[in-house]
Amino acid sequence: MKELIKKLVETYGPSGNEDKIRQVIQEEIAGLADEVRTDALGNLIARKRGQNGGKRVMLAAHMDEIGVIVTHVDEKGFLRFGAVGGVWPHTLLGGRVVFANGTVGVIGTEKVEDEERNKVIPLEKLFIDVGAVDKTSVPVQIGDVAGFSRPFADMGKRLVAKAFDDRIGCAVLIQTMRDLKKTPHDVYFVFSVQEEVGLRGAMTSAYGIEPEMGLSVDVTLTGDTPEAQTMAVELGKGPAIKVKDGRMLAHPGVKRLLVETAEAIGIPYQLEVLERGTTDATAIQVSREGVPAGCVSIPCRYVHTPSEMVDYDDVTNAVKLLVAMLEKPIIL
């Protein structure tokens, strides 16, 4: 899957600007589904028809990534910017961004006084330098959105890249489509938009699909780095089956189904309790009259930074878990 993962994470696609990444995913899933469509909000929805008697199952992974948006251009051609999604200012200084038209920018800062050197520099003191000599030579404009620019790195067992949140979930869904040869269920693989700014794509797609069960595939935090927050999730210990996050309690039947499936096929798994943050499963769960929903999470270090890290075995085991679950009848 590494070639696929590299292609996905290095593609531009901040929230609200998912055209390029949607095209890449559409090419990757060509021939793998009975129907493929893009809805009004921009979600890419691929349906694999099942046999009679199965459930209507929705799997969602968001294809958008965090980014920055130009709010002002000064006379010398420097750009002020705001955040698109959960951008952490302390990860930005000296970083590079890239706009949809290919323009590359470097994030710089105003003068930092001695007493400020050990403090986080706020967004309002940062700017983007696109190499312009004045305002008229700036190749972007107010409202243009940039994503972070950082290459994929294969460290063997561990992988590093920007946008694993949630291109790694997209990779899991694509590989699941490839490996799932037969299923009794009507399975909708949804590559959703605008998750980072409010779960918007999952909200509208779930309303239209009316699933009988829903799962998101996303990243989660870990507790395995020095002085990390206390959390019983580690890289390399298997995909995490969500119990609770900041906005959702997983349906007990869905959680049980995932646990029993993992144990039946002999793959490692972890139980996830995430104190802050959430996923597309929250929007799916409260769609229409309500949907039994859960989440398969890929443990990820350094989430929402330009260098997120995952374990390759966790990724491949997540695929095995989903395929095994979808091959058999679902009883909640």
Backbone φ and ψ for 246, nearest 5 degrees, come out as: -65, -15
- What pLDDT does residue 253 have? 97
Question: What is the CB neighbour count within 10 angstroms for residue 125?
Answer: 16
- What pLDDT does residue 260 have? 98
- What pLDDT does residue 52 have? 75
Q: Are residues 102 and 185 in the same domain?
A: no
- What pLDDT does residue 118 have? 82
Q: Are residues 242 and 287 in the same domain?
A: yes
Cα 233 to Cα 241: distance, rounded to the nearest angstrom: 10
Angle at 169 (CA atoms; ends 68, 59), nearest 5 degrees: 115
- What pLDDT does residue 112 have? 81
- What pLDDT does residue 196 have? 97
CATH number assigned to the domain comprising residue 129: 2.40.30.40
Q: How many helices (H) and strands (E) does the chain have?
A: 7, 17
Listed residue (319, 56, 13, 305) closest to 172, CA to CA: 319
Element (H, E) at 146: strand 145-148
- Annotated active-site residue in 18, 195, 196, 308: 195
> Does residue 156 form part of some domain?
no
Q: Are residues 108 and 236 in the same domain?
A: no
Domain containing 84 equals: 67-148
- What pLDDT does residue 70 have? 98
> Does residue 214 form part of some domain?
yes
**Of the residues 117, 148, 179, the one at which a domain ends:** 148
Q: Are residues 299 and 215 in the same domain?
A: yes
User: 205: burial class by Cβ within 10 Å (0-12, 13-18, 19+)?
Assistant: buried
Enumerate the H helices of the chain as residue ranges: 2-9, 19-28, 164-179, 200-209, 252-265, 280-285, 312-327
- What pLDDT does residue 116 have? 75
**Of the residues 148, 175, 191, the one at which a domain ends:** 148
Longest dimension (CA), the chain: 70
The pTM assigned to this predicted structure is 0.95
How many domains is the chain partitioned into structurally? 2
Q: Which residue reads 């091959």 in tokens?
A: 327
Q: Are residues 214 and 293 in the same domain?
A: yes
Whether 234 is catalytic: no
Average pLDDT, 10 consecutive residues per value, the chain (332 residues): 97 97 98 97 96 91 98 97 96 96 96 81 95 96 97 96 97 98 96 97 97 98 94 97 97 98 98 96 97 98 96 98 97 90
Cα 300 to Cα 134: distance, rounded to the nearest angstrom: 41
